[in-house]
Amino acid sequence: MRAPELTPDARIFVAGHRGLAGSALCRRLRAAGYENLVLAESSEVDLRARGATARFLADNAPAAIVLCAARGGGIAAEAAQPADFLSDNLRIQLSVLDAARALRVPRLLFLGSSRLYPRESRQPIRETSLLSGPLEPANHTYAIGKFAGMAQVRAVREQDGLPWITALPTNLYGPGDNFHPTDSHVLAGLMRRFHEAAQTGAESVAVWGTGTPRREFLHADDLADACITLLSHYDRAEPVNVGTGRDISIADLARMIADTVGYQGGITFDPSRPDGTPRRVLDIGVLTALGWAPRIRLRAGVASTYQWYLNSLALPRPRMAVRGHEVVR
């Protein structure tokens, strides 16, 4: 089985092109000369609907699909609506993967998640750690849905001989992120809260948990470059980690974001809120062996993401002082 070469005129369907990963991939594909992108607004086709999805793919006949579409959110959102998250993600995956299989789409990249790894994985986490122990309870339902998609990709490879592949990205951030006050992931959520605190002159900002868990953060543009590398050079059943190989504590991340937005008030931590997995950082040796490496350092990426946040939402810049209070270091 050999993956077909994607020429610049290849029709590539980016499922979920309005999301963080999908929008970054579209930017990178166009910059690399791929102009024949197949895109669909949710108002045009609901990817949870099998019939509509099958008709859309049959009409557009893509040579490759990158399945970025998924319902995602932070710990609070997933804990509050686990059945909704699982149902939506399973339906999206089944609709797209079954339709792609029926059409024998030559190339498909499924985006899983580093949250599929066990809570107590040895660090940095290698791909061989999958299914080696219990999942983090806060991620359990989301992870189970992604496991189903990953298993289907592998099954199609085995049964039909199609060179489909899976990537496991770490925590993403960047332009196009979701900055919802309760449904966002940690970096975007903190950025919004510190920005608003700087605007209002709040004396302190409370951060969920103890601040001690360590996480890895990957800029969406780096993920997009990794997707292009994998589509061009990878053809194995085993999923591939996509990350930076570097982690940071939530406490240090909060301070970095506070510095970036100009917030000078206090930072407190709320241990009554969940911490999640104690540490999660990926071994990216498989991907770097293909010639890829992350380019965007976290501090620079946070600064550019904050600038995008200000520009896209037309928000005023925060005041640079907050009544003389100092950041808790």
Binding residues for NADP(+): 16-22, 111-114, 146, 169-172, 185
Catalytic residue among 34, 117, 142, 173: 142
Q: How many residues does the chain have?
A: 329
B/e letters for 305-326, b = 16+ CB within 10 Å, e = fewer, are: bbeebeeeeeeeebeeebeeee
Instruction: Return the SS3 of 166.
Output: strand
Closest among 164, 173, 111, 166 to 142, alpha carbons compared: 111
Q: What count of other Cβ atoms lies within 10 Å of the Cβ of residue 54? A: 18
Q: Count Cβ atoms within 10 A of the Cβ of residue 111 and give its class: 0-12 exposed, 13-18 middle, 19 or more buried.
A: buried
**Peptide linkage before 124 cis (omega within 30 of 0):** yes
Q: What count of other Cβ atoms lies within 10 Å of the Cβ of residue 31? A: 12
For the annotated binding site for substrate, the residues are 193, 208, 215, 275
Contacts of 116 (CB under 8 A, 6+ apart): 130, 135, 143, 146, 147, 150, 168
Q: Known catalytic residue: 142?
A: yes
Check if the beta carbon of residue 73 is closer than 8 Å to that of residue 183. yes
Check if the beta carbon of residue 133 is closer than 8 Å to that of residue 118. yes
The DSSP secondary structure of 173-193, one letter per residue, reads ESTT----TTTS-HHHHHHHH
Closest among 318, 328, 16, 64 to 172, alpha carbons compared: 16
Q: CA geometry: angle at 166 spanning 165 and 167, to 5°?
A: 130
Catalytic residues: 142
